[in-house]
Amino acid sequence: MGRVSRSGRLAIVLAMFAVAVAAVVWTAFNYVGSEPATVSFTTGHQAGAPVHLVAQTDGAVGTGAHPTWVSYQVQTPRSGQWVHTTLWQLPAHTRIDVTIYQFDSGSALRNQFFGRVTGTLGGRARMTGQSFKVINSNKTTVGHTFTVPSLGINVPLMGNTTSKKTFCTSGPCNPATQLNHKVTFSFVTPGPGNYRFQCFIPCGGGRYAGNGGPMQTLGYMGGFLEVV
Q: Is the pTM of this model over 0.85?
A: no
Q: How many Å from the N-terminal Cα to the C-terminal Cα in the chain?
A: 66
Query: Mind listing the pLDDT tens digit for each residue in 98-134?
Result: 999 999 999 888 888 899 999 999 999 999 889 999 9
Are 39 and 74 a contacting pair, CB within 8 Å? yes
**Residue 10 one-letter amino acid:** L
Query: Mind listing the pLDDT tens digit for each residue in 31-89?
Result: 344 689 999 999 999 999 999 999 999 999 998 899 999 999 999 998 999 999 999 99
90 SS3 class: strand
Q: Smallest Cα–Cα separation from 43: which of 77, 93, 73? A: 77
